Amino acid sequence: MMHNVQESRAGPKEKGRKAAILVLAPTRELARQVAETFELLAQPDGLRVSVFHGGTPYGPQQRALREGLDVIVGTPGRIIDHLTNGDLDLSGIEHVVLDEADEMLNMG
């Protein structure tokens, strides 16, 4: 996934670009861990990764969306919040990962 995004987004990064990868994780702890790994992979190409989960203010997440992202890692609840508020547009998503999907289904 990252290789495809790195190739398609080589060069200057446009402000306000929509994320190409969305990763959903059941807990904030797992979302943070996954985001850290994506950040390591993204850093050499200047791609931006942001983690969206509850327990943190909306402002920095909204700002990250306005500035442009390549990868969003988040918990379902916070992603739904941003969709409901109209902050998040998923039309640019090329890849979706459901990390521990069975656990998310068990949680409802």
What local confidence, expressed as pLDDT, does residue 27 receive? 95
Q: Of the given ranges (6-10, 40-44, 46-50, 52-56), which has the lowest mean pLDDT?
A: 6-10
The predicted model scores a pTM of 0.92
Structure tokens at 96: 């979706």
What local confidence, expressed as pLDDT, does residue 102 receive? 85
The tens digit of pLDDT for each residue in 67-82 reads 999 999 999 999 999 9
Strand order of the β-sheet with 71-74 is: 49-52, 71-74, 21-24, 95-98
